[in-house]
Amino acid sequence: MQYFVVMIDYGRRGREAVVDPEMTRREVIARVASGEFANISFIHEIRDHAVEDITADVMAQAAVPELDEATIDMQAAQFDHRRDLRKHEQV
């Protein structure tokens, strides 16, 4: 028997383990890529009494982009700058 465990972290609200024996690896990848599974702590594959951590593999196959902190800060600064320009423009 084979199934997947996807642990989702909700921060202060706790964690949720999604376990569905009928969910395939392809479905897990599709749900990660679509954003249905977000804030993933880990993804484990259980097969014949053996557990394998496949988080990195699934994330790579789902092509989830990883943004570094500098990019995020630059984007936020750009949004703030545009908002300030709109706020101070003459009407």
Q: pLDDT tens digits for 25-64?
A: 999 999 999 889 888 999 999 999 899 999 999 999 988 5
Mean pLDDT of 71-91: 78
In a domain, 54, yes or no: yes
In a domain, 71, yes or no: no
In a domain, 36, yes or no: yes
Torsion of CA 71, 72, 74, 75, to 10 degrees: 120
Geometric angle at alpha carbon 58, from 69 and 75, rounded to 5°: 20
* Owning domain of residue 61: 2-65
Domain count, the chain: 1
Torsion of CA 67, 72, 74, 75, to 10 degrees: 110
Distance CA 49, CA 51 (A): 7
pLDDT of residue 7: 95
Q: Write down the pTM of the prediction.
A: 0.65
Mean pLDDT of the chain: 86
pLDDT of residue 29: 93
Does the structure show a pLDDT above 80 at 74? no
In a domain, 7, yes or no: yes
